[in-house]
Amino acid sequence: MKTIIAAIATGLFFAASAFAATATTNSLVIHADAGTTIISKNIYGQFSEHLGHCIYEGIWVGTNSEIPNTRGIRNDVVAALKKIKVPVVRWPGGCFADEYHWMDGVGPSEKRPAIINTTWGGVVENNHFGTHEFMDFCEQVGCDPCICGNVGSGSVQEMMQWVEYMTSAADSPMANLRRQNGRDKPWKVPFFAVGNESWGCGGNMRPEFYADNFKRYNTFIKNYPGNKVYRVACGASDGDYNWTEVLMANAAKQMNGISLHHYSLPIPTWSGSKGSATQFGEDQWFSTLQAAVSIEGMIDKHSAIMDKYDPKKKIGLIVDEWGAWYDVDPGSNPGFLRQQNTLRDALVAGCNLNIFNNHAERVKMANIAQAINVLQSMILTDKEKMIVTPTYYVFEMFTPHQDATLLPSELKCEDYSFGGKKIPGVSVSASVDPSGAIHVTLCNLNPTRAANINCELQGGTRKNVSGRVLTSSDMTTHNTFEQPDNLKPEPFNDVQLAGNGFTTTLPPKSVVALELK
């Protein structure tokens, strides 16, 4: 029934007259001739942790599984991730990274020691998915690995040897161990994170203590011939600007990037309920989006601190954990963090990606949490079944921004107000690809009012415009295994070229992607 309702609603949305009485009016200027900054494709990165069914059943089913796989890795998941051009995947955590000892995960699988995943659910981790399996997964997807090293409970020597094992072609103990385990040629490991959340689950460290540890561990991460490592320091959570200040003051010369973590919660507390993923009203719709867009202020303030020590912006801000976080699906393991994914999550994703695009001068990578079956995932699996989520479709709609040139834009929009609070009602970013096509992604955060956009395209005109939209009449619409196509992008026709720009009406609660040629 929801599919029928959504289809009828989608058809109705494209009549501009239907919204005329309630639409907001907004103006947009895009400077088509002023782009200088490249939007790194790595902003569209993913995160896969040994948590719940992200790895096991999500990526890895084993070579004896009846689920179609290549060397134990699900074919359907790989195909879906390739379609959205996943550029980089962060692994093995997360909090799990600081209790992970990589040698447990190499060699014959039947000889690998089992451990207890004390962070996530207390389940047995058999280590059948380790370094070789993750690198195989990355090669199948066609993405780069971002390895997160163990600072919390691991040694300097252990981290040093892992980098040697993965990237050295020498006749050396670790490189020869890799060969013994079936891989002659070293892998490319372009990104290595030195610890995770060292202020919390990664060791509960003071920033001064972590800064010293970062410099110590980082000293022994070697650039072996043919591989240069981009070193990511563990940065702050949310608005902990002192952490960034201390790290930049003490270790800026040793780092290539510094991380930032921010999650969007409908109920702004980490104690008690975080709210349902599928049963919510406009109050939690608003509070979740308010939390999502608040990351822009955090990026601005962390960037201002970074500018003091790195005015040439050589150090990247790496938002390697972000996304919506709700209560787990009813009946699921509380430690597995499995949650459904609705139209609300599509707006969370669209707003965040627009913000990252617009800050591409400083933001060089982002990794949504997480790729499969955990938190704001791209994909949900149930044994042999697989579906993609509204968030997946947003990433697919935004793929033209990857490695395109950011076009500066100026948006004057009406606020979306609720309960005495307000946030911008529209979110936007624009880019031009190497062929000269301009791509504009727009989000209307207001669930009840359409948004009229009058856009002036300065420094260039285009002859054709086309678009796609992701929306529904119901803010809780989501895809299920029984109805996998409840919410997916549809053609968008309510856009017209006008003068040296265009006009459009964004439906309420929608994500729209336009292409101008």
Of 52, 48, 29, 20, the C-alpha closest to 339 is: 52
Catalytic residues: 197, 321
Q: What is the mean pLDDT of the chain?
A: 95
Q: Is the peptide bond before 340 cis (omega within 30 degrees of 0)?
A: no
Radius of gyration of the chain (CA): 23
Please give the pLDDT value at position 268. Answer: 82
Q: How many helices, marked H, and strands, marked E, lie in the chain? A: 11, 27
371 shares its domain with 411: no
111 shares its domain with 24: no
- Looking at 376, 403, 430, which one is the last position of a domain? 403
240 shares its domain with 371: yes
Instruction: In whole angstroms, give the CA distance from residue 62 to residue 342.
Output: 30
240 shares its domain with 195: yes
Instruction: In whole angstroms, give the CA distance from residue 465 to residue 323.
Output: 31
178 shares its domain with 314: yes
368 shares its domain with 447: no
- Looking at 403, 430, 447, which one is the last position of a domain? 403
Cα–Cα distances in angstroms (integers) from residue 71 to residues 114, 178, 383, in the given order: 21, 18, 17
Please give the pLDDT value at position 1. Answer: 40
- Looking at 403, 419, 434, which one is the last position of a domain? 403
Please give the pLDDT value at position 9. Answer: 40
Instruction: In whole angstroms, give the CA distance from residue 229 to residue 235.
Output: 18
What single-letter DSSP state applies at residue 141?
Answer: H
Instruction: In whole angstroms, give the CA distance from residue 81 to residue 388.
Output: 10
Q: How far apart are the first and last CA of the chain?
A: 38
165 shares its domain with 88: yes
Please give the pLDDT value at position 21. Answer: 46
Tokens 């285009």 -> residue: 462
Please give the pLDDT value at position 5. Answer: 37
Structural domains counted in the chain:
2
**Alpha-helix residue ranges (DSSP H) falling in 59-107:** 75-83
Please give the pLDDT value at position 13. Answer: 40
Residue 106 tokens read as 């190499």
480 shares its domain with 417: yes
Output the domain CATH number for residue 447.
2.60.40.1180
What single-letter DSSP state applies at residue 350?
Answer: H
The residue ranges of the chain whose pLDDT is under 50 are 1-21
345 shares its domain with 481: no
List of residues 6+ apart from 26 with CB closer than 8 A: 411, 412, 413, 414, 425, 426, 451, 452, 453, 454
Of 495, 490, 422, 487, the C-alpha closest to 455 is: 495
233 shares its domain with 158: yes
- Give the structural domain span for 117: 41-403
Please give the pLDDT value at position 8. Answer: 36
106 shares its domain with 173: yes
Please give the pLDDT value at position 23. Answer: 83
Burial class, 110, CB count within 10 angstroms (exposed 0-12 / middle 13-18 / buried 19+): exposed
Output the domain CATH number for residue 85.
3.20.20.80
24 shares its domain with 145: no
What single-letter DSSP state applies at residue 331?
Answer: T
